Structure 1
Amino acid sequence: MDLSDLLIFQTVLQEGGITAAARRLNRVQSNVTTRIRQLEDSLGVSLFERSGKRLQATPAAHVLQGYASQLLSLAQEAREAVASDLPQGMLRLGAMENTAAVRLPPVLAEFHQRYPAVQLELRTGATAPLIADVLSGRLDCALVCGPVSDERLHSMPFCREILLLISALGHQPLRDGRAHTLLAFDSGCAYRQRLEQWLHYSGCAVDRIVELDSYHAMISCAASGMGLALVPQALLACTPAAGSVARHALPEHIAHADTVLIRRRGQRHAAIDAFAGLLSATACPSD
């Protein structure tokens, strides 16, 4: 049973016969008759009975009529939604945790007010898995650490984060020469990757990496002397434990991290276009 079968069935029911239905559908009568028989075979019931030269709808046909109307109406609604330039439907957005916590709340509030027909779903994660989810179609778009060079993706700048290395108060990690514990997200985190590379080239040894799942945990553990962490300045500024850690400036190529919005290249999605437009209009200044 497919939608075209249901449309033919509904037309026959409305017109009261094969001939009138075929004329309305611009089909030959034999095609309409064959499609009705195929529909009956797939359902295992008779939908029409002949009474002389007229067709009489069976009780099963009247039951099917209600479902056919709903399905055809829903299909038309789906076609209009896909073709429409008005933002509506589901928007599956991904974002790094710090972006979701600090940058997105006012943007999402404005988006929700402007486009109430869009059902927004937000998922946080590290840059690498977010990129993979956009490429696979599990996410429609995502805010990740750039640059992103994959030719399958289009990226748009949103804001620039200033990253700081933090440690316990009084600790000078770049001077004491000993090995350190690194507090970080999993290996898919772009911030962690750039910090590991810089520590390696700067000669600052790391003897272990403790993976945590939140910045609040990283900041608290760094304050207690457990290890070093790399955190965005904007996030640290609104964290109660910020006064309990020492902040260490980093070289510009490490400290400056651009956040970009990525989407699949050539993708047509009115809700993504609307979200991208709002991001562009409210782009965050560098901290």
Structure 2
Amino acid sequence: MDIKDLAIFKTVASFGNITKAAEHLNYAQSNVTARINQLEHELEVDLFVRNSRGVVLTNSFVDGPIKNNELVHEICIDDELVLITGQQLPDPRKLELICKNDLIVVSQKCIYKRKFEQWVQFENIQLPRSIQVGTWDGIFASVELGLGFSITIRSLAEKYSKSNSFFIYELPKAYNQNPLVFLRRKDRIMTKIMIMWCVILHQAARLIFAVMLR
């Protein structure tokens, strides 16, 4: 595996388009395609899903549990992603219609936003405009007013549904998983310090999650 291949992969993933990545790298498009194909062959896994708009990362590079015999993964928190809309918006099961509205997010780098965009790109639909609100209180209030829709975890949506009026819809199984995973090497001896560190990480994750649901 060549480090240049990884750099090409990173650029293609960032642009979501081989042509644009080739222009950015000042490479021929055929060269970029060949290097990606070579990398996929070496790793024995598909790295991208190709469609008419470009490429989308496969689950091989999506956050979540990693299948590797040399690693042990422990799920700290596991919650389902859902889509929420106000009464004024169309049925989100008609994805093309819902994407004509604004996606309201807590951050432009939010993992929930990225998961939803992967689904939209796979369906070859134009991405919705995203608006950053910054707080969940603001997001749920905006959704209730019909200013757009949002993606969040089910437990948080159900908490806010007690005081806000909006609809909760399931996402396809391929895009609704959002586990927080702790990874460690299987061959490493678990010392007392490492065990304590793992316990602290688990407790911290659950504490942060509990604060979100207050």
The aligned runs of 1:108-127 (5 Å cut-off) are none
For structure 2, the 5+ residue unaligned runs are: 1-62, 210-214
Alpha-carbon shift at residue 242 of structure 1 (Å): 5.7
Alpha-carbon shift at residue 156 of structure 1 (Å): 2.2
Cα 1:200–1:241 change in 2 (3 A) is farther
Contact 1:236/1:242, CA 8 A, preserved across alignment: no
SS in 1 for 2:140: helix
Residue 156 (1) aligns with residue 81 (2): no
Give the 4+ runs in structure 1 shifted more than 6 A: 263-267
Contact 1:198/1:254, CA 8 A, preserved across alignment: yes
CA distances 1:52-81 after superposition (whole Å, capped 9, x unpaired)? xxxxxxxxxxxxxxxxxxxxxxxxxxxxxx
One-letter amino acid of the counterpart of residue 171, structure 2: L
CA distances 1:81-103 after superposition (whole Å, capped 9, x unpaired)? xxxxxxxxxxxxxxxxxxxxxxx
Residue 248 (1) aligns with residue 185 (2): no
Alpha-carbon shift at residue 159 of structure 1 (Å): 2.8
Alpha-carbon shift at residue 163 of structure 1 (Å): 1.1
Q: TM-score, with normalisation over the residues of structure 1?
A: 0.39
Q: TM-score, with normalisation over the residues of structure 2?
A: 0.50
Contact 1:181/1:206, CA 8 A, preserved across alignment: no
Q: Which one has a larger percent strand, Structure 1 or Structure 2?
A: 1
In our comparison, the structure showing a higher alpha carbon Rg is: 1
RMSD of equivalent CA atoms: 3.8
Contact 2:84/2:169, CA 8 A, preserved across alignment: yes
Alpha-carbon shift at residue 200 of structure 1 (Å): 2.3
2:85 is matched with which residue? 167
Q: Distance in 2 between matches of 1:251 and 1:240?
A: 21
CA distances 1:125-152 after superposition (whole Å, capped 9, x unpaired)? xxxxxxxxxxxxxxxxxxxx63479xxx
CA distances 1:160-207 after superposition (whole Å, capped 9, x unpaired)? 211111111153134384412111133432221110111222344334
Alpha-carbon shift at residue 257 of structure 1 (Å): 1.7
One-letter amino acid of the counterpart of residue 274, structure 1: V
SS in 2 for 1:244: coil
CA distances 1:200-226 after superposition (whole Å, capped 9, x unpaired)? 223443341101222222111111111
Pairing partner for 1:274 from 186, 199, 204: 199
Cα 1:162–1:176 change in 2 (3 A) is closer
Contact 1:182/1:206, CA 8 A, preserved across alignment: no
Q: Distance in 2 between matches of 1:186 and 1:277?
A: 24
SS in 1 for 2:79: strand
For structure 1, the 5+ residue unaligned runs are: 1-144
Cα 1:228–1:204 change in 2 (3 A) is farther
Alignment coverage as a number of residue pairs: 136
SS in 2 for 1:206: coil
The aligned runs of 1:20-99 (5 Å cut-off) are none
Percent identity reads: 17
